[in-house]
Amino acid sequence: MLDRRSLLASLAATPFADQAPYRREQRLFADDFRRGLDQWVIEAEKPATAQARDGVLEIIAPGGLTAWFKPELIGPAAITYQAQAVSAGGPYDRVSDLNAFWMAREVDGGSPLDHPRSGAFADYDTLKTYYVGHGGNSNTTTRFRRYVGRPGERPLLPQHDHAAPEEMLTPNRWVSVRLVADGRRIEYWSDGRRLFDLDDPAPYPRGWFGLRTTQSHLRIRDFAVFRLAL
Protein backbone atom coordinates (compact mmCIF):
# COMPACT_ATOMS: atom_id res chain seq x y z
CA MET A 1 0.00 0.00 0.00
CA LEU A 2 1.29 3.48 -0.89
CA ASP A 3 2.06 5.84 1.96
CA ARG A 4 0.79 9.43 1.79
CA ARG A 5 3.95 10.81 0.20
CA SER A 6 4.03 8.11 -2.46
CA LEU A 7 0.33 8.60 -3.19
CA LEU A 8 0.75 12.33 -3.67
CA ALA A 9 3.73 11.74 -5.96
CA SER A 10 1.72 9.25 -8.00
CA LEU A 11 -1.17 11.68 -8.39
CA ALA A 12 1.16 14.50 -9.40
CA ALA A 13 2.51 12.32 -12.21
CA THR A 14 -0.90 12.05 -13.88
CA PRO A 15 -2.15 14.70 -16.33
CA PHE A 16 -5.32 15.30 -14.30
CA ALA A 17 -3.85 14.96 -10.81
CA ASP A 18 -5.50 18.08 -9.41
CA GLN A 19 -9.07 17.07 -10.17
CA ALA A 20 -9.47 13.80 -8.29
CA PRO A 21 -7.09 13.54 -5.32
CA TYR A 22 -7.10 10.24 -3.47
CA ARG A 23 -8.98 8.48 -6.28
CA ARG A 24 -7.58 5.39 -7.97
CA GLU A 25 -8.32 4.77 -11.63
CA GLN A 26 -8.90 1.23 -12.87
CA ARG A 27 -9.04 0.97 -16.64
CA LEU A 28 -12.19 -0.82 -17.77
CA PHE A 29 -12.21 -0.31 -21.53
CA ALA A 30 -9.89 1.03 -24.19
CA ASP A 31 -9.63 1.38 -27.95
CA ASP A 32 -6.37 2.12 -29.72
CA PHE A 33 -8.20 2.18 -33.09
CA ARG A 34 -6.00 -0.50 -34.62
CA ARG A 35 -8.69 -3.19 -34.99
CA GLY A 36 -11.49 -1.43 -36.82
CA LEU A 37 -14.70 -0.12 -35.27
CA ASP A 38 -16.10 -3.30 -33.74
CA GLN A 39 -16.64 -1.47 -30.42
CA TRP A 40 -18.68 1.34 -31.98
CA VAL A 41 -22.04 2.00 -33.63
CA ILE A 42 -22.25 4.90 -36.09
CA GLU A 43 -25.40 6.95 -36.68
CA ALA A 44 -25.00 9.46 -39.51
CA GLU A 45 -27.50 11.98 -40.86
CA LYS A 46 -25.73 12.02 -44.24
CA PRO A 47 -23.22 9.61 -45.82
CA ALA A 48 -20.07 10.01 -43.77
CA THR A 49 -16.60 8.54 -43.32
CA ALA A 50 -15.67 6.93 -40.01
CA GLN A 51 -12.66 4.65 -40.10
CA ALA A 52 -9.96 3.46 -37.72
CA ARG A 53 -6.43 3.15 -39.00
CA ASP A 54 -2.91 3.61 -37.66
CA GLY A 55 -4.22 4.23 -34.16
CA VAL A 56 -6.63 7.03 -35.10
CA LEU A 57 -10.40 7.21 -35.59
CA GLU A 58 -10.96 9.62 -38.46
CA ILE A 59 -14.44 11.11 -38.92
CA ILE A 60 -15.52 13.25 -41.86
CA ALA A 61 -19.16 14.19 -41.36
CA PRO A 62 -21.18 16.36 -43.76
CA GLY A 63 -24.12 16.26 -41.32
CA GLY A 64 -24.86 15.13 -37.80
CA LEU A 65 -23.00 12.03 -36.63
CA THR A 66 -22.89 10.10 -33.36
CA ALA A 67 -20.45 7.24 -32.67
CA TRP A 68 -21.75 5.19 -29.73
CA PHE A 69 -19.33 3.12 -27.67
CA LYS A 70 -21.05 -0.25 -27.24
CA PRO A 71 -20.38 -1.16 -23.57
CA GLU A 72 -22.58 0.34 -20.89
CA LEU A 73 -20.64 2.51 -18.44
CA ILE A 74 -21.35 2.38 -14.71
CA GLY A 75 -20.17 5.23 -12.50
CA PRO A 76 -18.18 6.49 -10.85
CA ALA A 77 -16.23 6.68 -14.10
CA ALA A 78 -13.98 8.86 -16.23
CA ILE A 79 -13.79 8.80 -20.03
CA THR A 80 -10.61 10.05 -21.69
CA TYR A 81 -9.40 10.54 -25.24
CA GLN A 82 -7.38 12.86 -27.41
CA ALA A 83 -9.02 14.77 -30.25
CA GLN A 84 -7.98 16.94 -33.15
CA ALA A 85 -10.18 19.25 -35.21
CA VAL A 86 -8.68 19.04 -38.68
CA SER A 87 -8.12 22.03 -40.95
CA ALA A 88 -6.48 20.87 -44.18
CA GLY A 89 -8.63 22.39 -46.91
CA GLY A 90 -11.32 19.69 -46.95
CA PRO A 91 -14.99 20.58 -47.48
CA TYR A 92 -15.89 19.80 -43.85
CA ASP A 93 -12.71 21.01 -42.15
CA ARG A 94 -14.76 23.45 -40.05
CA VAL A 95 -12.79 23.15 -36.76
CA SER A 96 -15.92 22.89 -34.63
CA ASP A 97 -18.24 20.52 -32.78
CA LEU A 98 -16.05 18.20 -30.78
CA ASN A 99 -19.10 17.04 -28.83
CA ALA A 100 -20.04 14.18 -26.51
CA PHE A 101 -22.90 12.48 -24.71
CA TRP A 102 -22.10 10.51 -21.58
CA MET A 103 -24.12 8.39 -19.15
CA ALA A 104 -26.86 8.45 -21.81
CA ARG A 105 -30.01 6.37 -21.44
CA GLU A 106 -33.50 6.26 -22.85
CA VAL A 107 -36.24 7.66 -20.61
CA ASP A 108 -37.42 4.10 -19.91
CA GLY A 109 -33.89 3.15 -18.84
CA GLY A 110 -33.03 1.34 -22.05
CA SER A 111 -29.95 1.58 -24.22
CA PRO A 112 -29.67 4.15 -27.04
CA LEU A 113 -28.20 1.34 -29.11
CA ASP A 114 -31.60 -0.38 -29.05
CA HIS A 115 -33.28 2.71 -30.50
CA PRO A 116 -31.28 3.75 -33.58
CA ARG A 117 -31.49 7.41 -34.54
CA SER A 118 -30.93 9.23 -37.80
CA GLY A 119 -27.92 11.23 -36.61
CA ALA A 120 -29.88 14.50 -36.66
CA PHE A 121 -29.25 16.47 -33.46
CA ALA A 122 -32.92 16.86 -32.45
CA ASP A 123 -33.36 13.08 -32.39
CA TYR A 124 -31.28 12.91 -29.21
CA ASP A 125 -33.49 15.26 -27.16
CA THR A 126 -35.34 12.23 -25.80
CA LEU A 127 -32.26 10.91 -23.97
CA LYS A 128 -31.36 11.46 -20.36
CA THR A 129 -27.69 12.34 -20.63
CA TYR A 130 -24.91 14.82 -20.05
CA TYR A 131 -23.73 16.67 -23.14
CA VAL A 132 -20.96 19.06 -24.10
CA GLY A 133 -20.73 20.88 -27.39
CA HIS A 134 -17.17 22.17 -27.83
CA GLY A 135 -17.26 24.86 -30.49
CA GLY A 136 -15.06 26.87 -32.80
CA ASN A 137 -15.23 29.16 -35.83
CA SER A 138 -18.89 29.67 -36.84
CA ASN A 139 -20.02 27.80 -33.71
CA THR A 140 -18.98 30.46 -31.23
CA THR A 141 -19.96 28.75 -27.97
CA THR A 142 -18.87 25.82 -25.84
CA ARG A 143 -21.77 24.53 -23.76
CA PHE A 144 -22.69 21.90 -21.19
CA ARG A 145 -26.24 20.58 -20.83
CA ARG A 146 -28.06 18.01 -18.73
CA TYR A 147 -30.72 16.50 -20.98
CA VAL A 148 -33.97 15.51 -19.26
CA GLY A 149 -35.47 13.26 -21.93
CA ARG A 150 -38.14 15.54 -23.39
CA PRO A 151 -38.31 16.57 -27.06
CA GLY A 152 -37.32 20.18 -27.67
CA GLU A 153 -35.79 20.62 -24.20
CA ARG A 154 -32.03 21.13 -23.84
CA PRO A 155 -31.70 22.88 -20.47
CA LEU A 156 -28.80 25.34 -20.31
CA LEU A 157 -27.62 27.11 -17.17
CA PRO A 158 -26.01 30.55 -17.67
CA GLN A 159 -22.72 29.37 -16.14
CA HIS A 160 -22.57 26.53 -18.66
CA ASP A 161 -22.66 28.80 -21.73
CA HIS A 162 -19.08 29.83 -22.59
CA ALA A 163 -17.71 31.98 -25.38
CA ALA A 164 -14.13 32.75 -24.33
CA PRO A 165 -11.67 32.34 -27.24
CA GLU A 166 -9.40 30.12 -25.17
CA GLU A 167 -12.29 27.66 -24.73
CA MET A 168 -12.80 27.17 -28.46
CA LEU A 169 -11.09 24.55 -30.61
CA THR A 170 -7.72 25.25 -32.23
CA PRO A 171 -7.07 23.90 -35.76
CA ASN A 172 -4.89 20.78 -36.03
CA ARG A 173 -4.04 20.70 -32.33
CA TRP A 174 -4.43 17.55 -30.27
CA VAL A 175 -6.35 18.19 -27.04
CA SER A 176 -6.86 15.82 -24.10
CA VAL A 177 -10.51 15.41 -23.14
CA ARG A 178 -11.79 13.98 -19.86
CA LEU A 179 -15.44 13.41 -18.91
CA VAL A 180 -16.28 12.60 -15.30
CA ALA A 181 -19.40 11.06 -13.77
CA ASP A 182 -18.56 10.60 -10.09
CA GLY A 183 -21.83 10.47 -8.19
CA ARG A 184 -23.13 14.03 -8.02
CA ARG A 185 -19.89 15.41 -9.45
CA ILE A 186 -20.11 15.83 -13.24
CA GLU A 187 -17.18 17.44 -15.07
CA TYR A 188 -15.73 18.20 -18.49
CA TRP A 189 -12.00 18.82 -18.81
CA SER A 190 -9.95 19.98 -21.79
CA ASP A 191 -6.15 19.85 -21.64
CA GLY A 192 -6.18 19.70 -17.86
CA ARG A 193 -8.55 22.65 -17.49
CA ARG A 194 -12.00 22.08 -16.06
CA LEU A 195 -14.42 23.88 -18.34
CA PHE A 196 -17.65 22.65 -16.72
CA ASP A 197 -18.75 21.14 -13.43
CA LEU A 198 -22.16 20.30 -12.04
CA ASP A 199 -23.27 19.19 -8.59
CA ASP A 200 -26.19 17.05 -9.76
CA PRO A 201 -28.65 16.15 -6.96
CA ALA A 202 -30.19 13.47 -9.20
CA PRO A 203 -27.21 12.17 -11.17
CA TYR A 204 -27.29 9.76 -14.09
CA PRO A 205 -25.18 6.94 -12.62
CA ARG A 206 -24.89 4.69 -15.66
CA GLY A 207 -25.35 4.80 -19.41
CA TRP A 208 -23.55 5.05 -22.73
CA PHE A 209 -20.91 7.31 -24.25
CA GLY A 210 -21.42 8.86 -27.67
CA LEU A 211 -18.92 10.93 -29.60
CA ARG A 212 -20.88 13.58 -31.46
CA THR A 213 -20.15 16.04 -34.27
CA THR A 214 -21.70 17.74 -37.28
CA GLN A 215 -20.24 19.18 -40.49
CA SER A 216 -16.78 18.50 -39.21
CA HIS A 217 -13.52 16.59 -39.65
CA LEU A 218 -12.20 15.06 -36.42
CA ARG A 219 -9.45 12.67 -35.38
CA ILE A 220 -9.66 10.69 -32.13
CA ARG A 221 -7.02 8.53 -30.44
CA ASP A 222 -6.20 6.84 -27.11
CA PHE A 223 -9.79 6.27 -25.99
CA ALA A 224 -10.22 4.77 -22.51
CA VAL A 225 -12.75 4.41 -19.70
CA PHE A 226 -11.72 4.23 -16.04
CA ARG A 227 -13.52 3.29 -12.86
CA LEU A 228 -12.89 5.81 -10.08
CA ALA A 229 -12.35 4.27 -6.68
CA LEU A 230 -11.28 5.38 -3.21
- Helices H, strands E: what count in the chain? 1, 14
| pTM of the shown model | 0.89
Map out the domains of the chain as residue ranges. 27-229
Within 10 A of 129 (CB to CB), how many other CB atoms are there? 24
Q: Is 34 helix (H, G, I), strand (E, B) or coil?
A: coil
What are the backbone angles phi and psi of residue 167, rounded to the nearest 5°? Answer: -105, 10
Q: Would you state the pLDDT for residue 9?
A: 35
Q: What one-letter code names the amino acid at 72?
A: E
DSSP symbols for 76-122: SEEEEEEEEE--SS-TT-----EEEEEEEEETTS--GGGS---S-GG
Q: Which amino acid is at 216?
A: S
Q: What is the mean pLDDT of each run of 10 residues along the chain (230 residues)?
A: 35 41 81 96 98 97 98 97 97 96 97 97 97 89 97 95 93 98 97 96 98 98 94
Give residue 5's pLDDT: 40
Angle at CA 114, nearest 5°, toward 220 and 211? 15
* CATH number for the domain running over 27-229: 2.60.120.560
Q: 134, 118, 125: which is closest to 188 by C-alpha? A: 134
